[in-house]
Amino acid sequence: MIKLFAADLDGTLLNALHQVDRTIARAVNTVVDSGAHMVIATGRTMLSNNEHGFDGLPVEMCSANGSIVVGREGVLKTFPVQPCLLEELLPAFPDICFDCITLEGTFATGTPEMRAEGFGADPWWRRIALRGMRQVQQESIFFETPLAELLERTVLKVNCRVADPARSEELKAFLAERPELVVNAPFSPVMFEMTDPAVNKGAAIAWLARYYGYTEDEVAVYGDGGNDITMLERFKHAYATSNGSDDAKRAAGNVIGSCRFHAVPRHMMATVRRQGRIASYIRIE
C-alpha cells in the first residue's frame, strides 16, 4: 500500500509547459483524499504550497534537492552546507555568480548580469521556456552578497550555471576534489546544484516517510533527471518518465509515459484507485 507519493517537477509531474494544470491538481487531491501524502521532490526552493502553481493544493515538499523538508505544519528539517565549502569555493571562482539558498531567501554572489550570462549554457529552447521564470526569480534575489555575510547565514544549497565550457570543467574538478564537503546533483548537465554530501532527494523523502511512520516500501517516487537518481535507486516503487534521461530510467527500472501526456498524475490516480479496490475487497472478505 503506497502511503506517500513523491514526484519531481520539471519533466515529471508538471506538464510540457512546466505548469500545474487541472489534471495535475486532480491527481494531487485524489492522492490526499485517499489518506496518502503528496510530496514535491524538487531542486527548486519551495517553502509553501502556494508556490510554482500549487496554490492551495495539499502538498508537502522535499525541496532544494532535499536540503529543506517541509510538512503540512511548516519547515520540519534542513541540511546546511558546511561553511568551509563557501570559504573555499567563492574566492576560487569570483567570476561565477553563485546562488546561495537560505530559508530567508536567495543571496547571489554576483550581479544580475553575471547571473543572466550563466543561462547562456542552456539550449535555446530552454532559455525561452525559462525566461519568464528567471525574471520572477531575479526580483526576489539579493545580489552581490559578500562572503562574510553568507558565512553568517545558514546556506542550504548553492546553484550556478557556467556558460564557459572550460570554466565549467574547472568547477567540476574543484568539486570532485572535495567529496567530503559537497555533492553536485544537477537536474541538467549545464547546471551545478551543490549540497552537503549527505543530502539528496532520496534521503529527504526517507526522512519524511519515517516522520509520518511509514516504511520505504510504502513510498512511490517519480523522476526524470540527474538529481532524481538517488531517489529512484533507493525506493522499490520507482518510476521514470519516458522523456527522462537514460540514467534515470536505469535507476528506476520502471518507465512510464511522457510528462507531455500526464503520465505521472495518471499513474498516481490509477495506483490510488487500485489500492481502493483492493481495500474494498479485503473489507468484503
- Does residue 33 sit in the same domain as residue 92? no
Rounded Cα distance, 122 and 32, in Å: 36
Distance CA 174, CA 135 (A): 30
Among 153, 238, 163, CA closest to 202? 238
pLDDT (tens, 9 = 90+) of the chain, 285 residues, equals 999 999 999 999 999 999 999 999 999 999 999 999 999 999 999 999 889 999 999 999 999 999 999 998 899 999 999 999 999 999 999 999 999 999 999 999 999 999 988 887 666 555 545 555 544 455 689 999 999 999 999 999 999 999 899 999 999 999 999 999 999 998 878 899 999 999 999 999 999 999 999 999 999 999 999 899 999 999 999 999 999 999 999 999 999 999 999 999 999 999 999 998 876 655 544
Shared-domain flag, residues 94 and 166: yes
Choose the final residue of a domain: 142, 173, 195: 195
227 and 133 co-located in one domain:
no
Both 74 and 97 in one domain: the answer is no
Whether residues 187 and 272 fall in one domain: no
Residues 90 and 183 occupy one common structural domain = yes
Cα-based distances in Å from 28 to 7, 144, 243: 11, 39, 21
**Which residues constitute the domain of residue 252?**
4-79+200-284
User: Do 216 and 147 sit in the same domain of this protein?
Assistant: no
Q: Which of 153, 170, 195 is the last residue of a domain?
A: 195
Judge if 211 and 172 occupy the same domain. no
User: Domain of 87: which CATH number?
Assistant: 3.30.1240.10
Show the cell assigned to 228. Answer: 532524481
